[in-house]
Chain A
Amino acid sequence: MQIQVKRDNEYVPDIAKLVKKTKMTEYEILFEFVFDNQEVRDLFTYIPGQFVQLSIFGIGEAPFSISSTPTRKGVLQLGVRNTGDLTAAMHKLEIGDKVGIRGPYGNGFPINKLKGHNLLFVAGGIGLVPLRSVINYVADRRDDFGKVTILYGSRNPEERVFVDELEKTWSKIPDFEVLQTVDQGNDTWEGNVGVVTTLFKKCLVDSKESMALICGPPVMYKFVVRDLLNLGFARDEIFLSLERRMKCGIGKCAHCQVGHKLTCMDGPVFTYFEAERLQESI
């Protein structure tokens, strides 16, 4: 069960302070926030795959997936790419600076359905941000899940995020397999070169007892899904997380409509069965 902080006005965020900032790549920073209010700090919890609405006052508000795991209480991390007004201002934040945060919103990944299954994660670029929440959740609740395979693709070695966790943490966990690939290597890259789907041939993915979780740039979904279907995954055993423009996060502004559903309320996680029925979704 999820305990929500009762609030009269859902649009008014709680104030949080930046406590840690870790540069991951030229454009991506991992932020860690702590709520000012003790009660909020105690009650704030979430499901991997949910998102928050973050305010930089004077600039606006935008949705970000939660990248930390609820199994590690008191930690709220967001991995953010610098791509526009608000995210640029975020990148300029200093330790101690205040932001507004409200949420968590959206459905998140169906943890209970995933339990007892082998999990295949397919991430592209910063698509690893929301998936990292599930991966660390699984790592912390190892007995509840089967074998874990993580396939990660990036444009080049420098653009990879969470490299330490990929190479030093996850790959060392029993029954965790991590495979990486880049579209374009460099002088020091000795790993795979090619799009993320080329990794399917390099590992033994058994669709039996398995569920697939994918997140990445829109172009990635079509090819990954096609291969997963060929491997024998059912349409409702494939979960993907979608992104749309958002203003409210709570089903009121209609900016995030995708087909006949709302990304913020019905998603952002959809099964491929649903996504196939949502016009323009992938």
Chain B
Amino acid sequence: MPTYTIRKDEIPKLVETLKEKYEVYGPVPRRTSHVFDKLDDVSKLDLDYDSTIMSPKKYLTPNRQVLMRVGLKETTLEDTANESTMDTPRILFGVHACDINGILFLDKVFGGKYQDVYYASNRENTTIVGLNCISPCKYGFCRSVDKNYVFEGYDLFLTEVSDTHYYVHVGTPKGDRIITYAPELFSETSIGDNDLFKTALRKKHENHPDELYLDYIHETLDMAWDDEIWDELGELCMNCGSCAMTCPTCYCFDVEDDVDLSLSTVERTRKWDTCLFHDFALVAGNHNFRGHPPSRLKYRFYHKFRAAIHDHGEIACTGCGRCIEACPAGISIKDVLHRLQDYWASSPTVTGG
């Protein structure tokens, strides 16, 4: 199986070459953090980034997606699924393992018995260049939830093996195409490169703490349903939804019919939604299944670490830490899990969370 190396200082040249065929997106600095953005100016690309404010899910299931257009006069339906097949294919450059795991989770949500064609066409049209994290980011806890590595989900995957080079794994034909577009920038690996790769992984193991025990989390959440922790956190939480908006695995949506001013066409549109919002479980007759704010905060945990296991066979958290950074109330999902697990599952406390 061929693997390659590429010089770090050749990355801008690679991106420039790829821009002839793709729209390329990657991490660029924004205020004190980074965001994924279109690389109009390749020099802005900063692969030495900690994390991004929003996860790359915004490219696969955007905040606003028109599902269909309806002509009201004759009741005509126009399926807009094809419009989301963008003409120019996209590359997401420099996606961390946690976020690739987030995408693999979304693949399950939007796949299955009923394929979501909007997601599927965005996904198909996107090439992912992954990037290994040798050092952990500030708020992340990916290793604790077993999401610090990927077996699949990337097309190319870069691992920094020295100050000058990345080691390159090729995951799919889509990734292979990148190599063939700029063959002069990639060299086949030698035994020496493999040794460097192993050293890099060893460093990664040493750097990433394993600080949470999630054994029995399923039972914990059932037993802790009436735990006072929820009321305590519910007092702090403002139900602002920042945690869910920034999260790579939160996928809830609302659907609305947007009518144009002439009242002749409707755009049925889906928009990001979150279980933190007051009307999420509100039904006709003003009955709200989760009217009490703490019950909504609790539900976010319950969905991620209990329901997702039922629905998709895995927890819906990649340990990316974005919700911890985003929360104006200072609620840390890691600390909450820690407390729950310490109490309900007798988990050995490793660091103080």
Q: Which residues of A contact B (CB under 8 A)?
A: 8-13, 15, 57-61, 81, 83-84, 87, 98, 100, 218, 243-245, 247-248, 250-255, 257-262, 265, 279-280
The smallest beta-carbon distance between B328 and chain A, in angstroms, is 24
Using a Cβ cutoff of 8 Å, how many contacts connect chains A and B? 112
Contact A247 B253 (CB under 8 A): yes
B310 x A261 contact (CB < 8 A): yes
* Contact, CB under 8 Å: A98 / B68: no
Closest to B253 in A: A253
Q: Is the CB of A83 within 8 A of B114?
A: no
Contacts A8-B117, A58-B266; A255 near B303 (Cβ below 8 A): no
How far is B295's CA from A255's CA once the two chains are assembled, in angstroms?
14
Q: Which of A57, A83, A255, A265 contacts B284 (CB 8 A)?
A: A83
Residues from chain A with a CB closer than 8 A to the CB of B335 are: none
* B67 smallest CB distance to A (angstroms): 5
Q: Is the CB of A253 within 8 A of B254?
A: yes
Contact (Cβ within 8 A) A100 B77: yes
Chain B residues, CB < 8 A from A252: 109-110, 114, 116, 251, 253
**Distance in angstroms between the alpha carbons of A245 and B283 in the assembled complex:** 5
Q: Contact size class for B?
A: 35 or more
* Cβ-closest chain B residue relative to A247: B255
The 18 sampled A-B contact pairs (Cβ below 8 Å) are: A8-B81, A9-B68, A11-B268, A15-B77, A57-B72, A58-B72, A81-B284, A244-B283, A251-B113, A252-B110, A253-B254, A254-B275, A257-B303, A257-B307, A260-B311, A261-B310, A265-B113, A280-B289
Interface pair B67/A255, CB less than 8 Å apart = no
Q: Flag whether B86 is at the interface (Cβ < 8 A).
A: no
Question: In the complex, which residues of chain A have a beta carbon less than 8 angstroms from the beta carbon of B280?
Answer: 245, 255
- Chain B residue nearest to A83 (CB atoms) is B284
Q: Does B193 interact with chain A (Cβ within 8 Å)?
A: no
A133–chain B nearest beta-carbon distance, Å: 21
Cα separation A98 to B74 with both chains bound (whole Å): 9
Residues of A within 8 A of B90 (CB): none
Asked if B109 and A15 make an inter-chain contact with CB atoms under 8 angstroms apart, the answer reads no
Complex CA–CA separation, A60 to B255 (angstroms): 8
Interface of A is mostly: loop
Tell me which residues across on chain A come within 8 A of B282, comparing CB atoms: 245
Judge if B285 is at the interface, Cβ distance under 8 Å: yes
The 8 Å CB contact of B114, one of A15, A84, A251, A260, is A251
CB-nearest residue of chain A to B75? A98
B281 contacts across to A, CB distance below 8 A: 244-245, 255
Give the shortest distance, in Å, between B258 (CB) and chain A (any CB): 9
Question: Contact residues of B with A, CB < 8 Å?
Answer: 67-68, 70, 72, 75, 77, 79, 81, 109-110, 112-117, 222, 225, 251-257, 259, 263, 266, 268, 270, 273, 275, 280-285, 287, 289-290, 295, 299, 302-303, 306-307, 309-311
Q: Are B252 and A254 in contact (CB under 8 A)?
A: yes
Give CA–CA (A247, B255) in the complex, Å: 6
Q: Provide the residues of chain A in CB contact with B117, threshold 8 Å.
A: 8-11
Starting from the known contacts A10-B115, A58-B72, A251-B311, 12 additional A-B residue pairs (CB-CB under 8 Å) come to A8-B79, A11-B268, A83-B284, A250-B114, A253-B270, A255-B254, A255-B273, A257-B303, A259-B307, A260-B306, A260-B309, A262-B311
CA distance A11 to B79 in the complex (A): 9
Shortest Cβ gap from B227 to chain A (Å): 13
Q: Which chain B residues lie closer than 8 Å to A8 at the CB level? A: 79, 81, 117
Q: Which of these, A87, A100, A260, contacts B310 with CB under 8 Å?
A: A260
A29: min CB distance to chain B, Å: 15
Report how far A83 CA is from B266 CA in the complex, Å: 23
User: Nearest B residue to A8 by beta-carbon distance?
Assistant: B117
User: What chain B residues lie within 8 Å of A83 (beta carbons)?
Assistant: 284-285
A253 vs B253: C-alpha distance in the bound complex, in angstroms?
5
Minimum CB–CB distance from A79 to chain B (whole Å) comes to: 14
A57 and B70 contact, CB distance less than 8 A: yes
Residue from B116, B287, B295, B306 having most chain A Cβ neighbours under 10 A: B116
With A60-B255, A84-B284 in contact, do A11 and B67 touch (Cβ < 8 Å)? yes
Complex Cα spacing A253 to B115, Å: 13
Chain B nearest CB, measured from A117 CB (Å): 29
Residues of chain B within 8 A of A258, CB atoms compared: 289
> A258–B311 Cα gap in the complex (Å)?
12
Bound CA–CA A244/B273 (angstroms): 16
| A108 nearest CB across to chain B (Å) | 15
Nearest Cβ on chain A to B199's Cβ, whole angstroms: 43
For A254, the chain B residues whose CB sits under 8 A away are 251-252, 275, 303
- Specify which chain A residues have a CB less than 8 angstroms from the CB of B252 in the assembled complex: 253-255
Tell me, rounded to whole Å, the shortest Cβ–Cβ distance linking A207 to chain B.
Answer: 29
Given contacts A8-B117, A260-B302, A261-B307, contact A60 B110 (CB under 8 A): no
CB distance from A261 to the nearest CB of B (A): 6
Q: Which residues of B contact A13 (CB under 8 A)?
A: 77
Which of B280, B282, B309 is packed against the most chain A CB atoms within 10 Å? B280
Using A8-B81, A252-B110 as known contacts, say yes or no to A57 and B254 having CB atoms under 8 A apart: no
Distance of A106 from chain B, by nearest CB (Å): 12
A12 pairs with B114, CB closer than 8 A = no
Please, how many angstroms separate the alpha-carbon atoms of A15 and B256 in the complex?
Answer: 19
> Which of A244, A258, A279 is most buried by chain B, counting CB atoms within 10 A of its CB?
A279
What is the distance, in angstroms, from A182's C-beta to the closest C-beta of chain B?
20
